[in-house]
Structure 1
């Protein structure tokens, strides 16, 4: 039985799918029923994948999907399926890999043509309605694909079989173990360093993305091997990024990427995951340098999160759109006259700290940015500058706001919760830790039968969770345990790993699949090894297992973490790109650090030293002096005495002698090896 001949997206939980519910296209969401309809009709599937904050997705929607004539062709020739890549990253990764295998550059909107049984045979990204930009018109594409399907169906089906087999081998295959050693980690860091733009930071070329997994690799290289050049590359990249137009100087927060190589012109969408990772990187950078730039940018970005991104129950929304009132960047850009009107006599001082840039080809109003000198001066004079920015923010709040994708994604929230807990601990901001705890509680309470949802929007929840959800929430639970000492978070972390094992572990115990074993609508069960803008699901899983085993002292869990890491590294070694998340997590497995502190809660002397020296490789445990229960195990099953102050710093299975002096602990936590790793 076929589905009704109309658009079926109105009841979907995804704001992105709802955006398309008024299209004349007979859209279906990805579902067994939609796939069955294609088989019954013998029609190919037109699969369109995008997300709510995607600028070119909106362009293609306005040009083609809202056009009655284009929709009529789509409805006549295809079964049309619309997917929110944030709701279904498993589906997105499969068909993006297929597009790459065809030799095409990826991106969104992703436009793929599938056989009725869901196997890809051709595709692309954005197609204009009329031929331009060197691309054929979309109706031309539709008719050419239909003609090929009618005349060459057998050969296209064979091609689709081969392409599907290739994707399955790449995304779901099992490779041998790889030895975890420092050389592999150093090799990745060296290759990333070779791609760094020495003039403007980040990776060379345009467009320019923050690329947090790569920056993380360089930071770990400095921590592990003393490679100061790698640390400096991260610091310089952050400084230049935070001065550029990609950073929202009025309201805080980072846009997804810049279209140029100087961080000036962003695509103005703001994604939750970028800003969670920015907070973490700036937290480490502030601890290493004491540069107030990083502290202030954390404070501004967290203020934006709490002001604009809080969703139902205290969880965080997925993204803000680039467009408002039909124009990209309109909400964020300013003419000189607008600034002068808003600030009056204070506009002169404002322009001492900022400049308005309107580069060649940019059609909107100018973009606020700073030179490096202006950024340094602005931080030094922040007490003078902050009220001016606040005035502009009040004016800006009266503008037509960009659309917000209000769904709360569990894995992205996990990243954000961990970032807020870590920064709140480092900077002494208890209210940030409380905000993280509230978001965590809301997501846990939304669970069903012990299982997490992947996405939530009001009372609509999308089950089952992905492996990335359990991994991110495990890491979030550990970060909250470190920040609060509440054992309930440790229990949650154990429970998440139990569910991860139950629903996602493969039959040979060689790793985990992204989708759950009872997800019946995926053509391929993939592992989730590939980084996107965030570390891969596999990378997050390895990190979660390593950190939980360090926290609990569970040797069986440690064996599982090590085996998972070795096999993940074996698969990563077969890939050319996108495996930094796995390698970074394997760096934690190679050298897990654990710090146990016994201190006085009323007048702590050691805990503040620990808090102001964060290290992504380390798990921190604080015990109140005199405590008799719930004492953490040191490696070797040793219980530290709790009748006196002390700090035990352990690397792997080796612990240094206890430290009782705050200055000595400071020196211990800030000590770095030289570039030879000694």
Structure 2
């Protein structure tokens, strides 16, 4: 079969694919039909993977994919397939691993050449239309690939077979299970600590990413082992990020990464998942340090989220573009004259607390950031500064806005829902918990025959879900349960795990695949072990199973979680750093914490103590005094008496004596 000789992206549910629907390239989305066409025509596949907020994806699109001459070569020589990596992270991970196995540096746009049956034989990332930056021109590349395909096809097939086998072993293979060991987290935290930039935070060098899995390793090391240096690694990293240009000081929210070592000039795209992680870490940091900076940044970031990222139904969009009006960062940057025009004489106060910088190599307007002393002073003077920032925000709203990728991803929304629910509990913001509940309800209601979609855009839904969707939404359900006390969230969490078991479990019951068993268009069914900017699907699954087992007291689920964790640990042992998420989840499996609180909900004394001392290892279950229903079992099948106030704190299968004094509970949770 062959598809129409035209661009077929106009009806896709991905804004990124729709961005390319006007290209003269005969693009197809990834589908069984597209792969069949390549076989029917006996042509190689040109696979281009990117996402809506990706700057260099836009550059390559403008230079090459919008060019009639380049498109003519693409259409003549290849079947051209365009993939949104956020819609299909399974496809992206396969071919990114293939590029890495060739010894090439990964990134987006990812440009891969495949045999008609989908096996990779060569690739790269961004190619300019004409040769420059030390890179060959894109037409040169395509003609060289075509020549090799015609003249050395047997050799290319051998190379593709070998590369595919290597990727399969790396992403979907199995290793002997490993016993879960406390020392694994300690050892990894020590290695990460050795890479930390002591002055500027984050990992040494540039570019600088807020690496959530590594930060969590360090935070868990402090919580469990009392390593204060690892706590300080995280606090300093957060403080430096939140003072740098990577943070949006006018409107709130964090960009994806900074291009320099100082967190100064960001790549201006804003991703939902980065800001979910920022809210969680700032929540923990505020509790640990008492520094109001972290609370303020939570408030600002959630204000941005609710103002700019909510879509119809109450769920959250995937990302905001780096570019507006064709220029990166134009929406977010300011000249001194612009600020003075907007603020008049109040600009003196603004410049006392903020700095404008244009570092070497940056061609745009200056970037707003803060020195350490300005950051500290702005916390003190925040009431004076808020009206000034509101005026600048109003001026900024008149600018050409960056593009919004409005698709709703179930897994990324799950991360944000959990972050909102947790911050709402800690800071007493019922409105944040309600926003989280609304987003959760919208995604849950989009299920079809009990199965979640992976992505939605308006009425369009992309099924089936990935394992990461069920894991993230399970964790979101549990966080909402902790925040609300509503046991229906636990019923939904159980249903998500049932779907995960049905569609994603491997035959031996040792783990899960990222793609569902009825996904027929993947060349390799991968595990989802590898961390990216967020923890891997496997690590989120282990966390979800451990937390749900802790809430319900389900010993069978607990044993299954342990087994999955052991096998994941066996696979992670063969990776140096790319699977920190699995190490973190295994540490949770070894010592899950459970806090059962019996309290007067009209005038609680114990619950506020738990709320202001969040701990990612702990499940909190609140029961009203006098309640006879939904009392959780303590380890050993013991039912806590509900006739008077009390707190039961359990580690694994061991519970401490009941506490009734809020001050004693505070000391316990602070020490733990």
In structure 2, runs of 5+ residues without a counterpart are none
TM-score normalised by structure 1 residue count: 0.99
Q: Distance in 2 between matches of 1:569 and 1:312?
A: 40
Task: Name the SS of the counterpart of 1:368 in structure 2.
Answer: strand
Q: Distance in 2 between matches of 1:636 and 1:146?
A: 67
**What residue is the counterpart of 2:377 in the other structure?**
377
Give 1:576 deviation, angstroms.
Answer: 2.2
In structure 1, runs of 5+ residues without a counterpart are 673-678
Give 1:577 deviation, angstroms.
Answer: 2.6
Q: Distance in 2 between matches of 1:225 and 1:564?
A: 25
Q: Distance in 2 between matches of 1:558 and 1:187?
A: 25
Give 1:603 deviation, angstroms.
Answer: 0.5
Cα offsets for 1:199-219 (capped at 9, x unmatched):
110001111000011000000
**What residue is the counterpart of 1:447 in the other structure?**
447
Give 1:348 deviation, angstroms.
Answer: 0.2
Task: Name the SS of the counterpart of 2:313 in structure 1.
Answer: helix
**What residue is the counterpart of 2:627 in the other structure?**
627
1:479 aligns with 2:479: yes
**What residue is the counterpart of 2:352 in the other structure?**
352
Task: Name the SS of the counterpart of 1:378 in structure 2.
Answer: helix
**What residue is the counterpart of 2:657 in the other structure?**
657
**What residue is the counterpart of 1:524 in the other structure?**
524
Runs of 4+ in 1 over 6 A off after TM superposition: none
Give 1:181 deviation, angstroms.
Answer: 1.2
**What residue is the counterpart of 2:609 in the other structure?**
609
Q: Distance in 2 between matches of 1:394 and 1:578?
A: 42
Give 1:527 deviation, angstroms.
Answer: 0.3
Q: Distance in 2 between matches of 1:196 and 1:80?
A: 42
Cα offsets for 1:268-307 (capped at 9, x unmatched):
0000000000000000000001100000000000000000
Give 1:426 deviation, angstroms.
Answer: 0.2
Cα offsets for 1:646-669 (capped at 9, x unmatched):
000000000000000000000000
Q: Distance in 2 between matches of 1:70 and 1:34?
A: 21
Cα offsets for 1:123-157 (capped at 9, x unmatched):
00000000000000000000000001100000000
Cα offsets for 1:512-542 (capped at 9, x unmatched):
0000000000000000000000000000000
**What residue is the counterpart of 1:144 in the other structure?**
144
Give 1:445 deviation, angstroms.
Answer: 0.4
**What residue is the counterpart of 1:676 in the other structure?**
none
**What residue is the counterpart of 1:177 in the other structure?**
177
TM-score normalised by structure 2 residue count: 1.00
**What residue is the counterpart of 2:548 in the other structure?**
548
1:73 aligns with 2:73: yes
Cα offsets for 1:203-250 (capped at 9, x unmatched):
011110000110000000000100000000000000000000000000
Task: Name the SS of the counterpart of 2:492 in structure 1.
Answer: helix
Give 1:179 deviation, angstroms.
Answer: 1.3
Q: Distance in 1 between matches of 2:634 and 2:349?
A: 56
Q: Distance in 1 between matches of 2:184 and 2:454?
A: 33
Task: Name the SS of the counterpart of 1:116 in structure 2.
Answer: coil
> What are the equivalent positions in structure 2 for 1:69-218 lying under 5 Å apart?
69-218=69-218
> What are the equivalent positions in structure 2 for 1:212-361 lying under 5 Å apart?
212-361=212-361
Give 1:182 deviation, angstroms.
Answer: 1.1
* CA RMSD across the alignment: 0.4
Aligned residues: 672
Task: Name the SS of the counterpart of 1:186 in structure 2.
Answer: helix
Cα offsets for 1:93-121 (capped at 9, x unmatched):
00000000000000000000000000000
Q: Distance in 2 between matches of 1:493 and 1:31?
A: 31
**What residue is the counterpart of 2:41 in the other structure?**
41
Q: Which stretch has the larger CA shift, 265-274 or 179-188?
A: 179-188
Q: Distance in 2 between matches of 1:174 and 1:297?
A: 42
**What residue is the counterpart of 2:366 in the other structure?**
366
> What are the equivalent positions in structure 2 for 1:370-409 lying under 5 Å apart?
370-409=370-409
Q: Distance in 2 between matches of 1:222 and 1:349?
A: 39
Q: Distance in 2 between matches of 1:225 and 1:97?
A: 35
Task: Name the SS of the counterpart of 1:561 in structure 2.
Answer: helix
Task: Name the SS of the counterpart of 2:365 in structure 1.
Answer: coil
Task: Name the SS of the counterpart of 1:178 in structure 2.
Answer: coil
**What residue is the counterpart of 2:9 in the other structure?**
9
**What residue is the counterpart of 1:60 in the other structure?**
60
Cα offsets for 1:155-188 (capped at 9, x unmatched):
0001100000000000000111111111111011
Give 1:578 deviation, angstroms.
Answer: 1.1
Give 1:575 deviation, angstroms.
Answer: 1.4
Task: Name the SS of the counterpart of 1:313 in structure 2.
Answer: coil
